Amino acid sequence: MMMDYVPILSPAKSLNEDVNQVAETTPVFIRKAKTINTHIRDLSPEELMDLQKISRNLAELNAERNATWSVDAHDKGIPALFAFSGDVYQGLDASTLSDAAIERARNGVLILSGLYGVLRPFDAMLPYRLEMGTKLSIGKSPNLHNYWRRDVTRFINEHFKGRTLVNLASKEYAAAMSKKGLTVTVLDVEFKDFSKGEYKVIGFYAKKARGYFARFLLESVPKTIRDLQAFDVEGYAWSQEHSTDTKMVFIRG
């Protein structure tokens, strides 16, 4: 069944390399990812610490990853939907999705990526860490947002025509899409908790909720806005007061 509502996700910093699922496809923009790799593969741990604002241990790990990254190595890559293990992906819990939901995910989920641009659920990826907001210039592009924006936008327009994008990505990653250039409908979804007298986005809870919502889309296959409004996982409820025509807000507390 074709999904009318397509979740767009951010990747996660933490990875799960022990995955039972097998990758089936090569990332669409693997050659552009290779260009990025040529800019970072020889950076020392000290240079990565400065560029990515990470600890020495993480910098040493990622210097090794960058140095051994290659297009050919993707033959043993991890399917993207199952590779990430951060808060969003704990909420999504892809390994426990029904077979039907996993089948829908093949052409109904998109992950934005600083290194790969876009990742489809069964695209083979290699362990990496490169956030979209990293201040890395590539050729004439002053940053990764600029490097990817045209390709990401074109890919979405071509592959999701007639469908609605449910934007569950963080602002950092959503900036890789040109909303003016998109020809598909985009619906932003936000989760707020009541704290200190007001409703606000609380990072940890909001990330988990984005994963819950992506799972809801895959398992329930909503067909209308009213179907989307029915989401009620972990005590969240749709708020007409806080929502607009282009943003759906769920509140809790």
> What is the tens place of the pLDDT at every residue in 109-161?
999 999 999 999 999 999 999 999 999 999 999 999 999 999 999 999 999 99
Q: Please check the confidence at residue 18 and state whether its pLDDT lies above 90.
A: no
How does pLDDT run across 76-109, given as a tens digit for each residue? 999 999 999 999 999 999 999 999 999 999 989 9
What is the distance in angstroms between the CA of the first residue and the CA of the last residue of the chain?
A: 35
The predicted structure's pLDDT at residue 225: 96
Give the model's pLDDT for residue 34. Answer: 98
Q: Looking at 1-5, 60-64, 214-218, which range is the least confident one? A: 1-5
Conformational region of residue 178, where left means phi above 0, alpha means psi within -120 to 50, and beta covers everything else: beta
Distance CA 73, CA 89 (A): 24
pLDDT band at 2 (very low <50, low <70, confident <90, very high): confident
Tell me the pTM: 0.94
Rounded to 5°, the CA angle 47-51-54 comes to 90
Contacts of 135 (CB under 8 A, 6+ apart): 51, 143
Torsion of CA 111, 114, 116, 121, to 10 degrees: -20
Domain map (residue ranges) of the chain: 5-29+79-252
Is the Cβ–Cβ distance between 212 and 49 less than 8 Å? no
Helices (H) and strands (E) in the chain, counts: 10, 10
Phi and psi, residue 152, nearest 5°: -60, -45
pLDDT at 17: 85
Closest CA to 23 of 66, 71, 82: 82
Provide the pLDDT for residue 147.
Answer: 97
pLDDT digits (tens, 9 = 90+) for 36-77: 999 999 999 999 999 999 999 999 999 999 999 999 999 999
pLDDT at 50: 96
Bridge pairing between strands 247-252 and 185-195: parallel
Give the pLDDT of residue 1. 65
Strand partners, 250: 191, 238
